Structures are given as C-alpha cells and as structure tokens.
Amino acid sequence: MKRTTAVIIATALTGFGAVSFAQSVVMSDAFGPAKTTVTLEDTRLDADQLFNKVDTDRDGVISVDEYAAQTVVRANLARFNQAVIIDGEQTFHVKVAPEATSALSPSQQTAIDAVARTEFYRLSGEDVSMDKGEWIQSRLSQFAAADRDHDGLLRNSELELYAMRIAQHQISLS
Ligand SMILES: [Ca+2]
Ligand SMILES: [Ca+2]
C-alpha cells in the first residue's frame, strides 16, 4: 500500500499529462521480486509490454510528446519507488542506487523532457514518429550501451548504471 501511494504521488508531481501511463504501472501492482540480472530478452519483452502504455492516444505510434512524457514519468517512478520495474519473462524490479532517488525538481524535469525530445528525433527517423519496432530497437540499444562486456546480461555496475540512466541521474547532477 505504501508503495502504491508513492506511485500516485509521483503521477501528481510530474504534470506532463501522462497519467494513464503511470496509472497502468500502479494497476499492474508490478514490483515483483528483486533481481540483480537483466537479460536482453527481459528488455525486449518489457519494451513490447510498455509500447501500448506509452502510446497514450492509441494511434499505434509514439509521438515526440508521448516519448518525452514517458521518459519523465519513468524517471519519477524509478526515484519514488527506488526501483525500476521490468516486465520480462517474469515481472521483477531492480533497485535504484540511493544517490539517484531524490525527487526531481521542475527544472530538472524540464531538462529531461528537452533531452528526450532530441533523442526522439534522432531515433524516430524521417517520419518523426516511432513505430513499435523502432521503440523496441531503442530499448535494446539502451541495453547494449550498458552491457559493457557484451555478454547479453546486465549485472553489477552495468545494471546499476542502467537503472540510474532510467532514473535520469545524470540530469540531476548537472
Ligand atoms: Ca501515439
Ligand atoms: Ca554484461
């Protein structure tokens, strides 16, 4: 119950209009067990599940607004929950390091939104919209960037960094 409350507070604070995305995270009651390893397949399944939640207007593609909103909401949720929830082969969570769990200020959220928009234009191609394949590919690229030893698993410092990126720790440092 305490965790659910934290998620709802996170939704109220983001103010980026992505309420349905955050609410669906609450509905799934999806913390699951803590894990210290994430596989590429977990990431692919998670991205596949997440697509419909990010595509809030259900037009089958992710727009720049939807992309930026999910980035901000996901960072807020990771911080409030102190965990990143992954719908992989099972639903589980990965702890976020304590230094990446302080609440984001409005200006930090604006900065995350701006960076996410730039990232979207780089990823989405000429049509400036992201279909499911492009969305999943962007998530797999994020995984690959964190998988320093290229063994197809994130663990230890790889996983810590991955979770901190989702929590947008680099923005909160600047
Ligand atoms: Ca859409
Ligand atoms: Ca690895």
Q: What distance in angstroms lies between residue 69's CA and the mean position of ligand 2's atoms?
A: 29
For the packed helices 2-14 and 64-81, what is the interaxial angle rounded to 10 degrees? Answer: 140
Contact 101, 41 (CB under 8 A): no
Residue 153, φ and ψ in degrees, nearest 5: -130, 145
Q: What distance in angstroms lies between residue 79's CA and the mean position of ligand 2's atoms?
A: 24
Which numbered ligand comes closest to the C-alpha of 162?
A: 2
pLDDT at position 22 is 52
Separation of alpha carbons 30 and 33, rounded Å: 9
Per-chain residues with Cβ under 5 A from ion ligand 2? 147, 149, 151, 153, 158
Could you list the pLDDT tens digit for every one of the 174 residues in the chain?
445 444 544 444 444 444 445 544 444 455 899 999 999 999 999 999 999 999 999 999 999 999 999 999 999 999 999 999 999 999 999 999 999 999 999 999 999 999 999 999 999 988 999 999 999 999 999 999 999 999 999 999 999 999 999 999 988 776
pLDDT at position 29 is 55
pLDDT at position 54 is 97
Detail the DSSP E strand segments found in the chain.
37-39, 83-87, 91-95, 153-155
Separation of alpha carbons 118 and 111, rounded Å: 11
Contact 84, 96 (CB under 8 A): yes
45-65 pLDDT tens trace: 999 999 999 999 999 999 999
CA 115 to chain centroid, in Å, comes to 14
